[in-house]
Amino acid sequence: MNCFKIKLKNMEAFKQELTDKIQLLKKKGVVLTTPRLIILEFLVSNRIHPTAEEIFNALKKKYPSISQASIYNTIKLFVKLGIVSELFVEKERARYDINTTPHAHFKCLKCGKVYDVKKPLPQMEEIEGHQVALTQIYFYGTCNECLKKAKRRE
């Protein structure tokens, strides 16, 4: 394991989270196959809200036999099990987030990066008579890195 570069100070937290998620899969009776384990490890260690394609490209370097179908099957399973959130932050393709605690996302329209929004936003269980099970909040604009770059150029 630990195929992906992680800052040493986060190593313990990373190991713990990976162990927790694997325990959760076992508890749910999910067969622990290689694709499932390496996709899980990738998502835990790469908080970049990757697309299916990005996961596939990253993993086939160390596991050349993996197929796109396995990526899609596994992600779909993880989403169904509730251990991964599916983000519709852009029209082109879905992005995935191992952090399933409710939080908003910010997408930079300049560099394309997707950020987590840490600030907790109000949650609602009901709105205008509809029963709310899930809330997705997306902000779009210019990220602080791109704002800094633009200022430096002035």
Task: Kindly tell me which residue out of 94, 104, 115, 142 binds DNA, with binding defined by CB under 7 A.
Answer: 94
CA atoms of 111 and 107, how far apart (whole Å) = 9
> Which of 6, 35 has the CB closer to DNA?
35
Choose between 61 and 153: whose C-beta lies nearer to a second copy: 153
Judged by DSSP in three states, 72 sits in: helix
- Would you say the C-alpha torsion 92, 144, 43, 119 has a positive or negative sign? negative
| Residue 2 interacting entry, from a second copy, DNA, none, C-beta within 5 to 8 Å by type | none
Residue type, 90: E
Specify the residue, 19 or 136, whose C-beta has the smaller distance to a second copy. 136
C-alpha distances out from residue 19 to 23, 39, 74, 78, 129, Å = 6, 14, 18, 15, 40
Residues making contact with a second copy (CB under 8 A): 86, 88-91, 94, 104, 106, 108-109, 115, 117-119, 124, 127-144, 147
Tell me which residues touch DNA (CB under 7 A). 30-36, 51-53, 63, 65-70, 72-74, 76-77, 91-94
